[in-house]
Amino acid sequence: MMLPTLIGSVRRSFAGSRAITLSMGALAFTFALSRSTTADLPTDRTSGHATRKEWEPPAELRDEKDLEVERDVETWATLINVHTGEAMPLSSGEPSLDRFCDALSDRATASKAPLDPRLLELLRQVALRNPGARIELVSGYRSPKLNEMLRKKGHRVASHSQHSLGHAVDFRIIGLTPAQMKQTILRVGWEGGIGQYDKSSDRFVHADVGPKREWYERGR
């Protein structure tokens, strides 16, 4: 083959290859423009940082803060169990009803029963009228066994005592006479039973949630 003819053939082949290359590039560019670009678009941020719900502490932490507030409440008086020596602060939130029931469980059998919550509320009202008082708890729940034992020892206790129902509490306020303690209970507006025990050896008052009535016992 003559040299000029060979050169011309090479030029035509090169031009054809270049045309094919350009055509393929154009096809790729066209495909890139025509394909969906949804995956490349930024995610919709309509619920992003600017409008997101503000972080709130977990319920456990909120409860803990509430407890801290409750622990800061003012103590009105102190409850003392005369049989065990246990002392409890008395305030708007203390003691809990469960702890109150534990403190006034039966001293002979260690059994306990739910006490009427009105009894604890009565003591709170008494404390409000005697700030800083020492209130001694003499009797709360009394099992039938203990009740019968007291009867056999000559104590004047009812055979079907309100104590055995968890409906009564006996207590005294240090510094007040039984008559003054009774008047305090009356000023609270108590609608249940009130007993005044004015003995030289044991002075206290009884309050129960039974029918409204009053009695007085004086001994040696």
Largest CA distance in the chain: 152
* Distance from C-alpha of 117 to C-alpha of 121, rounded to nearest angstrom: 6
151 close to 190: Cβ distance less than 8 angstroms: no
193 close to 173: Cβ distance less than 8 angstroms: no
DSSP of 96-147: -HHHHHHHTS-TTT----PPPHHHHHHHHHHHHHSTTEEEEEEE----HHHH
- Please state, as a whole number, how many other Cβ atoms lie within 10 Å of the Cβ of residue 77: 22
Q: What pLDDT does residue 159 have?
A: 65
Q: Dihedral (C-alpha) 186, 191, 197, 198: value to the nearest 10 degrees?
A: 20
Q: What is the mean pLDDT of the chain?
A: 76
pLDDT higher than threshold 50 for residue 54: no
Is the model more confident about 137 or about 155? 137
* Residues near 181 by beta carbon (within 8 Å), at least 6 away in sequence: 171, 172, 173, 196, 204, 205
Closest to 207 in 3D by CA, of 119, 124, 142: 119
DSSP tag of 75: P
Q: Which of 42-46, 48-52, 58-62, 132-136 has the highest mean pLDDT?
A: 132-136
